[in-house]
C-alpha cells in the first residue's frame, strides 16, 4: 500500500528518506542554535539594562544621602520608584552592610531572606555602590526576579518553534518534489528499457529530465535507435547477400543439371559461363570477408605515419594495366607530401577499390584525376572522373553494402567496394563523400586527419 500511495520505487524511497533526514537534522540544529542565541542575547541585554537601572537607583540614593547628611532621615522614595518601575525589589545597605531601606517584593516575600540570600537569584541580583564624593557610603541591591526573562524566552520559543515547523514542512515538500523529479525519468527509462527488451522497438524514454538524467535519456534513445538501425541493416544485409548469391547459384545449378542429365553437351562456351558464375560467387564471398575484416580492423590495424601522396602514386602504378585495359586516362596530381597516421595496406586497398570502381563504370576514353592536398589540418584526396555520373536519387546509397544502381546492373560487381572504402576511411577517423550529376562525372572526396608538418599547412 505504501508503494502505491507514494508512487516511488526503492531508489525513490531511499532518496526521500535521505532528504527528510537532512531536512529534519538541519531544522533541529538551526532551532537549537536560534534558541541558545536568543537566550544568550536576552540575558546580555537584560543584564546591561539592569546594571543601568541599578546605577540610576544608586545615584538617587546618593542624592538623598547628601541632602539629609546621612541615612537616618534620607528620603529614598525616588530610588524606590526607579526599582518599582523596573519591577525589582530594592535594598539599600549602609557602608557597614546594615539594611537601611527595603522596597516591596519582586520575586519573593518581603519578609523572606535578605538580598543575595536564597536560591534562584543568580543574574537577577544586581548591586551598585552608593558614592558621596569620592567615598562609598552604601550599596544598592536590586532583585529583578526571573519572570521577565522567562517571558521573553517563552515568546522566543513560540516564534522559533513556529518558524521551525514551517521550515520543516517546506523542507519535506521540497524533498518530495526533488525526489519525484529525480525518480520520474529513471522510471521512464527503466520502463522503456523493459519494453524494448520485450520486443517493442519503438519504445523510448519520454519526458524531460534534469541535468545529467536528461542527457542519459537522450543517450538511451540514441542507443535504441542505433540498435534498431543495426537490426534493420542486418536484415537487409541478409536479404541482399541472399539475392546476390541466388542468381549465380541458380545459373550454376541449372547448367550442371543439364550437363548431368545429358540435355546439353559440354562446350567451351558453356563451361566458361559456369566458370564466370563461380567467379561471381567467389567475388561476393571474398568482398564480404574483406568488409567483415575491415569492420574489425580497429583491433588489428598497424598505424604509422605515411605519405598519402606516395601511396596514391604507388597504387595508381599497380592499377595501370587494369586502367589501360579499360581505355581510361589517369592523371595523378599530388601537390606535395601529405602525411597521415594510418595503415598503409588499408589505404592501398581503399584507393585500389576506387580505381577499380572507376575502371568498371567509366566509359572508354573517360579520364580519372587523383589530387592530394592539405586543407585545414586534413589530408584531402579527390578522385574525379568524367564518367556517366550517378543519378541524384541513387547518390545517397552508393556507400551502402551490396547496393548497386540501375546503370550498374549490367556490370559485374558485388556492390561492396565503396562500402569497403567507407569502412576503411571511418576506421582512420576520416570522412568520405561523393558528388555527381548525370553526364558530368563523379567526385569522391576523402579527408583524413593530417599529422606532423602537414597538419600545419593550409
Q: Give residue 106's pLDDT.
A: 43
In the numeric block, which cell numbers belong to residue 169? 514542512
Task: Please tell me the distance from the alpha carbon of residue 184 to that of residue 75, in angstroms, as a whole number.
Answer: 82
Q: Give residue 452's pLDDT.
A: 67
In the numeric block, which cell numbers belong to residue 147? 519572570
Q: Give residue 339's pLDDT.
A: 92
Q: Give residue 119's pLDDT.
A: 34
Q: Give residue 296's pLDDT.
A: 60
Tens-level pLDDT at each residue, the chain (458 residues): 344 445 566 767 777 777 778 878 888 888 788 778 777 777 787 788 888 888 888 888 888 888 888 888 788 888 888 888 888 888 888 888 888 888 764 443 333 333 333 333 445 788 889 888 888 888 988 887 665 556 666 777 777 778 878 888 887 788 777 777 777 777 788 888 888 888 887 888 776 667 777 778 888 888 888 888 878 767 766 766 676 677 678 778 888 888 888 887 888 877 887 787 787 677 677 767 766 666 665 546 788 999 999 999 988 888 888 888 888 888 888 778 889 999 888 898 889 888 888 888 888 889 999 999 998 889 999 999 988 888 888 888 788 766 666 555 555 555 677 888 888 898 889 999 999 888 888 999 999 999 865 554 44
In the numeric block, which cell numbers belong to residue 443? 567526385
395 neighbors 434 (Cβ within 8 angstroms):
yes
Q: Give residue 149's pLDDT.
A: 56
Task: Please tell me the distance from the alpha carbon of residue 237 to that of residue 51, in angstroms, as a whole number.
Answer: 98
In the numeric block, which cell numbers belong to residue 106? 519582586
144 neighbors 88 (Cβ within 8 angstroms):
yes
328 neighbors 368 (Cβ within 8 angstroms):
yes
Which domains does the chain carry? Answer: 1-102+122-210 (no CATH), 225-295 (1.10.287.130), 301-456 (3.30.565.10)
**Which residue spans within 38-184 are E strands per DSSP?**
89-94, 99-102, 125-132, 135-143
Amino acid at each position: 500500500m505504501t508503494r502505491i500511495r507514494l508512487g516511488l520505487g526503492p531508489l525513490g524511497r531511499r532518496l526521500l528518506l535521505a532528504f527528510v533526514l537532512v531536512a529534519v537534522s538541519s531544522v533541529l540544529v538551526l532551532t537549537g542554535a536560534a534558541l541558545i542565541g536568543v537566550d544568550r542575547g536576552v540575558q546580555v541585554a537584560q543584564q546591561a539594562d539592569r546594571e543601568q537601572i541599578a546605577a540610576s537607583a544608586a545615584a538617587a540614593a546618593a542624592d538623598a544621602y547628601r541632602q539629609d547628611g546621612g541615612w537616618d532621615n534620607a528620603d529614598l522614595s525616588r530610588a524606590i520608584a526607579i526599582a518599582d518601575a523596573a519591577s525589582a525589589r530594592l535594598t539599600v545597605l549602609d557602608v557597614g552592610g546594615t539594611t537601611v531601606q527595603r522596597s516591596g517584593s519582586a520575586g519573593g516575600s518581603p519578609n523572606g531572606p535578605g538580598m543575595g540570600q536564597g536560591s534562584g537569584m543568580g543574574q537577577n541580583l544586581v548591586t551598585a555602590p552608593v558614592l558621596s564624593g569620592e567615598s562609598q557610603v552604601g550599596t544598592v541591591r536590586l532583585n529583578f526576579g526571573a519572570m521577565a526573562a522567562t517571558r521573553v524566552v517563552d515568546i522566543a520559543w513560540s516564534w522559533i518553534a513556529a518558524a521551525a515547523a514551517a521550515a520543516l514542512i517546506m523542507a519535506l515538500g521540497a524533498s518530495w518534489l526533488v525526489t519525484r523529479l529525480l525518480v520520474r525519468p529513471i522510471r521512464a527509462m527503466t520502463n522503456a528499457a523493459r519494453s524494448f527488451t520485450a520486443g517493442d522497438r519503438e519504445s523510448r524514454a519520454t519526458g524531460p529530465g534534469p541535468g545529467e538524467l536528461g542527457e542519459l535519456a537522450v543517450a538511451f534513445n540514441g542507443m535504441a535507435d542505433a540498435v534498431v538501425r543495426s537490426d534493420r541493416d542486418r536484415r537487409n544485409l541478409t536479404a541482399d547477400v541472399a539475392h546476390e548469391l541466388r542468381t549465380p547459384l541458380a545459373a550454376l545449378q541449372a547448367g550442371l543439371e543439364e550437363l548431368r542429365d545429358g540435355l546439353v553437351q559440354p562446350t567451351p562456351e558453356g563451361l566458361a559461363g559456369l566458370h564466370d558464375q563461380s567467379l561471381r560467387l567467389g567475388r561476393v564471398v571474398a568482398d564480404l570477408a574483406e568488409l567483415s575484416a575491415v569492420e574489425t580492423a580497429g583491433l588489428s590495424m598497424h598505424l604509422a605515419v605515411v605519405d598519402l601522396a606516395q601511396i596514391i602514386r604507388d597504387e595508381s602504378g599497380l592499377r595501370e594495366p587494369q586502367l589501360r585495359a579499360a581505355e581510361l586516362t589517369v592523371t595523378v596530381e599530388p601537390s606535395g607530401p601529405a602525411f597521415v597516421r594510418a595503415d598503409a595496406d588499408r589505404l592501398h586497398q581503399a584507393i585500389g577499390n576506387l580505381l577499380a570502381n572507376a575502371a568498371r563504370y567509366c566509359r572508354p576514353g573517360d579520364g580519372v584525376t587523383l589530387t592530394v592536398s592539405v586543407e585545414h589540418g586534413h589530408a584531402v584526396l579527390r578522385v574525379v572522373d568524367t564518367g556517366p555520373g550517378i543519378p541524384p536519387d541513387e547518390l545517397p546509397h552508393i556507400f551502402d553494402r551490396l547496393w548497386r544502381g540501375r546503370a550498374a546492373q549490367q556490370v559485374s560487381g558485388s556492390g561492396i567496394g565503396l562500402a569497403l572504402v567507407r569502412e576503411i576511411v571511418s576506421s582512420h577517423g576520416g570522412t568520405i563523400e561523393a558528388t555527381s550529376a548525370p553526364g558530368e562525372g563523379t567526385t569522391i572526396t576523402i579527408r583524413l586527419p593530417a599529422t606532423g608538418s602537414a597538419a600545419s599547412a593550409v
